[in-house]
Amino acid sequence: MGLSIDDILAAKDRIGDSIFLTPCRKSTLLSRETGKRVYLKLDNLQMTGSFKERGARNKLMSLSEDERAKGVIAASAGNHAQAVAYHGSELGIKTKIVMPLGTPLIKVERTKSFGGEVVLAGDNFDEAYKVAREIEKKEGLVFVHPFDDAAVIAGQGTLGLEILEQIPDVDIMVVAVGGGGLISGVAAAVKAVKPSVKIIGVEPEVLPSMKRAVDAGRPIELPAHHTLADGIAVRKVGALTSSIVSDLVDEMVTVTESEIAQAILVLLEHEKTLAEGAGAAALAAVRSGKVGTGEEKICAIICGGNIDMNIISRIIENGLVAAGRLQRIAVQIRDTPGTLATILSIVGDLKGNVLDVRHDRTFTMGSSFGSTNVEFKIETKNKQHFDEIKSELSKHGFDSIEFL
C-alpha cells in the first residue's frame, strides 16, 4: 500500500508544532436535526484555511537538504497552493506554484502573500499540472503533488489521529474526497488504531471520480464538470490514493449541489463557521441522511474554508431556496387599484417578508386585457410556511397563481 501507521505517527511528530490543533466540537443543533451525535472537526481554521497544510508541511520537512536547496513546484487552484507557499516560506524553501488562468484573484494574491511565486497557465487544473511538470524538469525543482504522494498522505493522516484523541469513542468519520489524499491518510491512521471506526467518503454527485476508480479497480478520467465543491472537483484520482481507499474506506456516497449549498448555509448560520463547498461536503452527506442509521457518534470533517466571496451571496440564496426559505411567486391579477395591496397584506399578515415586487403589463399570461403579471420574491420560515401563504392567497380568490 506504500503507507503505514508508523509513517503517519512520524508525520505527527514532525509537523506537530507547526500545525494548529483545530477544534472538534459537538453540534447540539445538528445532533437534534439528524437524531445522531454530530461532531465537527474544524480544519477550515488552519492558517491557510484548509487541511492541506498537514500534507504540504510533512512533504517539505521530509525533503533532503539538496532538495530544499533546489526549491519546489506545485500545481493547484487554491488550497494546496497556499499551503505549499506558506510552509515553504516558513522553512526557507523557494516555492513556485502553477495556477489556472481563471483562478480567482484573491487566491492568487493570497498565495503570493504567503511567499509563493505564481505562474498562471492553462484553463484548468489538468493543464496547469502539465505546465508544472514541464517546469519541474526544466528548472530541476522538486514536485509536491497535491494528493498522490506518500508523505503528503501521511501528513493528512494526522487529522485522523487528532480526531481519535478528541473523540475516543467516535463511530463514523465522514471525509470529503477529491484526489483522495485526505481520506487515504485518515483511513490509514484510523483503521490502524481503531479498526471499528467506519470511514465514509463524500464526492459531488456530478464528479464521483473516486467511486468510479474503486468500481473499476483503477483511476478513470471523467469529463470536467462544474460544482460548488470546486476544491474536490478532481477528474482523475491518484493511483496510490485509489488503492488505499479501495482497501480501507467502508463506503463512498455522493451529494447534490443543493445539499452542499444547504450545508454551507447551516455552517454559516448556526455553527458560525465559514466553509467552502468541499469543506461542507461531509456535513451535506450527514444532513441528507446518507450517513449513519441510529445513535452513532459521527464526526464530519470541515476540511476547508476558502470560499470565493464573489459567489458566496449566490450560494447563500441557493441554500435558502433549497431550504424553502426563499420563494418566488408569479401571479396574474386585474390591474385595478388595491389588488396588489391585498396580496401584500395577506403575505404580511402571515409574517412572510416580501423582498422584491415586479410588474409586467406588457407580456401578460393569457389574453385578458387589463391584467398584469406580478412576481414576488418572498422570504419564509420554511416550506410549510410558504404552503400556508399559498393556501391563504387561494382563499382570497387568487387561484391563478403560478408557483415557480
Helix axes 181-193, 239-248, angle to 10 degrees: 40
pLDDT at 324 exceeding the cut of 60? yes
Where on the phi/psi map is residue 389: left (φ > 0), alpha (ψ -120 to 50), or beta? Answer: alpha
Q: What is the mean pLDDT of the chain?
A: 91
Q: What is the mean pLDDT of residues 350-378?
A: 75
End-to-end CA distance of the chain: 52
- CA–CA distance, 72 with 143 (Å, rounded to integer): 6
* Residue 272, CA distances (Å) to 21, 186, 335, 384 in order: 19, 25, 45, 26
Are 153 and 55 contacting, i.e. CB atoms less than 8 angstroms apart?
A: yes
Tell me the β-bridge partners of 38.
298
pLDDT at 86 exceeding the cut of 70? yes
pLDDT at 1 exceeding the cut of 60? no
Are 160 and 186 contacting, i.e. CB atoms less than 8 angstroms apart?
A: yes
Q: What is the pLDDT of residues 109-128, one digit of tens each?
A: 999 999 999 999 998 888 89
- CA–CA distance, 198 with 97 (Å, rounded to integer): 36
Are 15 and 54 contacting, i.e. CB atoms less than 8 angstroms apart?
A: yes
What is the per-residue DSSP string for 212-260? HHHHHTS--PPPP---S-GGG--SS--HHHHHHHHHH--EEEEE-HHHH
CA 91 to chain centre: 29
Give the contacts of 337 (CB within 8 A, at least 6 positions apart).
none
What is residue 16's DSSP assignment?
G
Q: What is the pLDDT of residues 34-59, one digit of tens each?
A: 999 999 999 999 999 999 999 999 99
pLDDT at 404 exceeding the cut of 50? no
Position 314 scores a pLDDT of: 82
CA 126 to chain centre: 20
What is the per-residue DSSP string for 31-77? HHHHTSEEEEEEGGGSTTSBTHHHHHHHHHHHS-HHHHHH-EEEE-S
Q: What is the pLDDT of residues 209-248, one digit of tens each?
A: 999 999 999 999 999 888 888 889 899 999 999 999 999 9
Q: Which three cell numbers stand for residue 236?
A: 482523475
CA 259 to chain centre: 11
β 72-75/95-99 pair status:
parallel
Nearest to 204 by CA among 282, 102, 126: 282
Nearest to 153 by CA among 124, 182, 177: 182
Position 156 scores a pLDDT of: 98
Position 277 scores a pLDDT of: 93
- pLDDT bin (cut points 50, 70, 90) of residue 364 is low
Q: What is the CATH number of domain 5-51+150-319?
A: 3.40.50.1100
**Cβ count within 10 A of residue 162:** 20
Confirm or reject CATH 3.40.50.1100 for domain 324-403, answering yes or no: no
Q: Where are the domains of the chain?
A: 5-51+150-319, 55-143, 324-403
Confirm or reject CATH 3.40.50.1100 for domain 55-143, answering yes or no: yes
- Residue 328 has phi, psi (to 5 degrees) of -125, 130
- pLDDT bin (cut points 50, 70, 90) of residue 107 is confident
pLDDT at 328 exceeding the cut of 90? no
Where is average pLDDT lowest: 244-258, 338-352, 367-381?
Answer: 367-381
- CA–CA distance, 252 with 268 (Å, rounded to integer): 26
Are 333 and 375 contacting, i.e. CB atoms less than 8 angstroms apart?
A: no
Please check whether the two domains, 5-51+150-319 and 55-143, share a CATH topology.
yes
